Structure 1
Amino acid sequence: MFKPAVLLALATAVMARKCQNLNIPISISARNAVFNLPNPVSEIDVTNFALSLTRPGTDFPDSILTGYKTVSGKYSIAATYCQPDHGPGKALQILTHGVGFDRSYWDLSFNNFNYSYVAHAVDEQGYSTFTWDRLGIASSSKGDPVNEIQKSLEVAALQELSILLRQGSVRGISAKFDKFIHVGHSFGSAITYNFINANPDFSDAAILTGFSQSQNLDFATAFLLGGNFRPVKENPLLAAKYPIGYFAPQSSIGVNIQFFAPGDFDPKMLANAFNIGQAATPGELLTIASGAGDTNSFKGHLLIITGERDLPFCGGNCTDTTSIQGAFPDLLAPSKAFFPSAATFNTSIVPGAGHGLNLGYSHKTTYASMFDFLSSFY
C-alpha cells in the first residue's frame, strides 16, 4: 500500500504524491583498493588522516595502497520511491546523495518541504523519484570503513539498483519504467559519473550537481580541513548508528564551511543540516577521484550544475579559472571534453549558491535550471 509522503502543517493540505519506503536486498561485487590504514579511532587519528590526505606534493592514497581485492557481499539498501497521485511519472529519477547526508537531502522536510527536490519533481513536474541511502550510510547496510565502503562498491550498488528498477524487480514498486534520469550530488555525482560511463545507454539524461573536474587539491583541502571531522563515536547524534572508523563534522561550523554560502541560507536550515547529517568513511575519501579523469562514454543529455561559491569543487569561486589551463569561462566548461558522445552538454552556475545546492535560498534557481534542462526532452 502506498501512503502519503507527508502531511503539511495545514491539516487540510496533503502533498500530491504517494511514497513507499523500501528495504532492497542486493548482491554486488567490486574491485576495491586495499589500503594499509587502521580505522581512525581518536580525534588525532581523524585529523592526521585529513592532514595526510591533503598534503601538497604527495599522493597519500597511493602511498598506503597495497593492492586490489574483489569485495563481494549481500547488502540491504534503504530507499524511498515516490510518484504522483495519479500514478507513475513520465520518467524515473534516480537520486544519489553526497557525503554528509542521506537520502533525505533530496526530500528535506524543513519549512514544510519547501526545499524538497522530490516535492518539486513529483508534485509540479510529474516525475517519479527513487532516493536511496548510499551503501554504508544511514539505514543501508554498513561495512568496513577503509577497505569495503569505497566508491567502486557504491557504484556497483547504484548499478544493481538501476537494473532492478528497469526490470521492475523491486518489491513495492509496481511501475516499470523505460525512461531514466540519473541525478547526483557531490560524491553522489562522482558515483553517477562512473555509472553513466560504464552504462552509456542506460539513462536518457544525467544531472551532476555540486560537481566539477577541476582536480585542484586546494579545493579538497578546504573542504576536508574546514569540516573539522571527529570520530563518529564522539558524535552523540551518530555514535549508535555507525561502527568505529567513520567520522563526521564536530559542529555546525564545519557543515557551514562545507555546504553553505554567505547570505544564501536560513540559520535554522544550518541547524537542521547538522542535525540530519551523516558520517563518511576513509575509504570513500581515498577513492573519490577514481574514474573522474576518464573520458566518459555517456550518450544521453548531460547537465552539470554547481553553486557559484561551491567550496570542494570550485574552491569557493566557480568563475575563477586561474587554477586551470586553457581558455575557459568557468570551472565547469572543461568537462565538455570528457563527454564527446553526449547528445547534449550543458552547464549552469547558480549565483551565490554554496556546495549544498538543496539547502540554500537559491535552491529555487537550482531546481528551475534542472527542470528547464529536462523540459527540452520530457
Structure 2
Amino acid sequence: MPTFTRLCRAAAACALALATLAAPAHASPAPASPCREVALPVSLTDGSPARLAGTLCVPEGADRVAVLVPGITYDRQYWDFPYRPDIYSFTRRANEAGLATLALDKLGTGRSTHPPSTQVTLPNQIATVHQTVQALRTGALGPIFTKVALVGHSYGSIIAYALAGTHPRDVDALVTTGVTHTPNLFTIATQVFLHPQPAMLDPKFAPLGLDAGYITTQRGRKAIFYAARTSDPAVIDRDNELRDLYTLGDLATYLKELALTSSRGYNGPVYVVNGGDDQLMCGAVPPMGAPCSSGNELADHEKPFYGPEATVDGAIIPDTGHDLTLSTTAPDTAQNILDWLNRH
C-alpha cells in the first residue's frame, strides 16, 4: 500500500478517535416528547361516524388528566399557543406540574371531522367529548387515567358543564373559564355574532368545501376578547391568523342550553375562573352579565346553576379579558387552576 494512503488512513483513524474522546458523556438521544397526536373514532347522536383530534401529553407516571376544551373560533392551540409558550401555554405548565393533558379540537374545528353544519351542535359536542373521556378512563388512548378533570374556555366551558351534568360519573373536577350562566348577551350579539363571515367566503377555509352553516369571524374582531393592560399585540395578531370555526347549530343549541341548565345534574367540585374585565361575561345586572368583583361573589352567583351538593369556588383574574390563557396574566390563571386541581 502506498505510504501516502497509509498516512491518510492513520490520520482519519486518529481524528475519529479524538472526536469520540471529545464527545461529552451525556451526548445521548434527546428524550421523546411526552406529547403525541391522537385521533379518536367517535359517533354522533344519530350514529354517524366522526373523529375527534387532539394532543395528548402524559408526563412520566401521570394518572390524572385534564381534558382541555376550547371555545368558539378556537381549536386546541388556545391551550398551547404557538408564541411565547413560557407565558401562553397552559399545557406546558400543567405537564411540568405532573398533570397529563388532552387538548381537543372540537367537532367541526381543527383536525377533527367537519360534518354537515347541522350536526355540529352542543349535543354532539357533548357526545364526542363524553366518548373521549371514556377512552381515557379505559386506556383506549394508552394510559389508564384514574382521575379526569374537564377544563373549558367560553363555549368549551359550556360543553364541559353540560357534559358534567349529563354524565356526572365522567368528571372528578370541573373548571370553567371565560363563562358564566348569565352572559352579557347584548355585548356578545353586538360585538361578536353581528360580525360573522361564512367560512366558504374566507380564503383560509374555502378549500374545505364547507356548507353555509359554518361561520368564522372577520379579522380584527379579537380585540373584544382582551383587556388593554394585559394584552400583547403580537398575540392578538397571531390569534386572528389562527381563527377557527363555529356553526349556526352550535349557536342555536347553546341558546337552548341557557334555558335547560344541564349543569344542575352535576354535584362535584367546580372552579369558576373569569377575567375581571371580561366584557362578554361580566356585568352589573344579570342576565346582562355576572358579578366579577371577587371570586367569592362569582362563586355565589354560579352555585345555583349546579347540583345541591356541588362545591363551587371562584377566582377573578384582575385586569384580564375573556381570553385568559392568551393574556399576559396567563401564568396566574394557570397557577390558580393547577393549585385548585391539586386540592381536588
TM norm. shorter chain > 0.5: yes
TM-superposed CA distance for 1:296, in Å, is 1.5
How far apart, in 1, do the equivalents of 2:262 and 2:154 lie? 17
**Aligned match of 1:287:** 253
Q: Deviations over 1:285-305 (max 9, x none)?
A: 111133343452223211011
Counterpart for residue 62 of structure 2: 89
**Contact 1:83/1:122 (8 A) holds in 2:** yes
Query: Of 183, 204, 213, which aligns to 2:181?
Result: 213
- SS at 2:228's partner residue? coil
1:310-357 deviations in Å (ceiling 9; x for gaps): 13222xx5xx24657999965553211122344521011111111111
Equivalent positions of 1:1-378 (< 5 A) are 18-29=34-45, 71-84=46-59, 87-123=60-96, 125-145=97-117, 147-170=118-141, 173=142, 175-225=143-193, 228-241=195-208, 243-245=210-212, 246-251=214-219, 253-257=220-224, 259-292=225-258, 293-294=261-262, 296-314=264-282, 317=283, 320-321=284-285, 330=297, 333-377=300-344
Tell me how far apart the structure 2 counterparts of residues 370 and 135 of structure 1 sit (CA, whole Å).
25
In 2, Cα distance between equivalents of 1:371 and 1:218 = 33
Question: Given that residues 222 and 311 in structure 1 are in contact (C-alpha distance below 8 angstroms), is that contact kept between their aligned partners in structure 2?
Answer: no
* 1:302/1:342 contact within 8 Å kept: no
- Is the contact made by 1:201 and 1:300 (CA closer than 8 Å) also made in structure 2? no
Check the 8 A contact 1:181/1:206 in 2, yes or no: yes
Q: State the Cα distance separating 1:99 from its structure 2 match.
A: 0.4
TM-score for both structures, normalised by structure 2: 0.83
Runs of 4+ displaced beyond 4 Å: 14-17, 322-332
Q: CA deviation at 1:372?
A: 2.1
Q: Assess, with a 3 A threshold, how the Cα gap between structure 1 residues 247 and 94 changes in structure 2: closer, same or farther.
A: same
Closer/same/farther in 2, CA of residues 244 and 80 from structure 1, 3 Å limit: same
- Per-residue deviation, 1:178: 1.1
What TM-score, normalized to structure 1? 0.76
Query: Cα distance 1:176–1:108, how it changes in 2: closer, same or farther (>3 A)?
Result: same
Q: CA deviation at 1:139?
A: 0.8
* Residues 177, 27 of structure 1: alpha-carbon distance in 2 compared, 3 angstrom cutoff: same
For residues 15 and 374 of structure 1, do their structure 2 counterparts lie closer, same or farther at Cα, with a shift above 3 Å needed? farther
Shift of 1:89: 1.5
Q: Which amino acid aligns with 1:280?
A: Y
State the alpha-carbon separation in 2 of the partners of residues 225 and 22 from structure 1: 32
Return the alpha-carbon distance in structure 2 between the equivalents of residues 275 and 325 of structure 1.
29
Per-residue CA deviation, residues 13-49 of structure 1 (Å, 9 max, x unaligned), is: x8995111011111231xxxxxxxxxxxxxxxxxxxx
Contact (CA 8 Å) 2:138, 2:144: kept in 1 or not? yes
Q: 1:40-71 deviations in whole A, cap 9, x for unaligned?
A: xxxxxxxxxxxxxxxxxxxxxxxxxxxxxxx3
Distance 2:262 2:48 in 1: 27
Counting aligned pairs with the same residue, the percent is: 25
Q: Is the 8 A contact 1:89 1:122 kept in 2?
A: no
Partner amino acid, structure 2, of 1:72: G
Cα distance change of structure 1 residues 216 and 266 upon mapping to structure 2, 3 Å threshold? closer
| Paired residue secondary structure (1:288) | helix
The answer to whether the 8 A contact 2:186-2:288 is kept is no
What are structure 2's unaligned runs of at least 5 residues? 1-29
More helix by share: 2
Amino acid at match of 2:174: A
Give me the whole-angstrom Cα distance separating, in 2, the residues matched to 1:339 and 1:199.
13
Q: 1:234 to 1:150 in 2, by over 3 A?
A: same
State the alpha-carbon separation in 2 of the partners of residues 92 and 22 from structure 1: 15
- Relative to structure 1, the CA distance from residue 294 to residue 196 in structure 2 (aligned partners, 3 Å threshold; closer, same or farther) is closer
The range that moved more, 347-356 or 366-375, is: 366-375
Question: What residue in structure 2 maps to residue 34 of structure 1?
Answer: none
Specify whether residues 198 and 225 from structure 1 end up closer, same or farther in structure 2 by C-alpha distance, changes over 3 A only: closer
Q: How many residues align?
A: 310
Larger Rg: 2
Q: Which letter does structure 1 place at the counterpart of 2:238? A: N
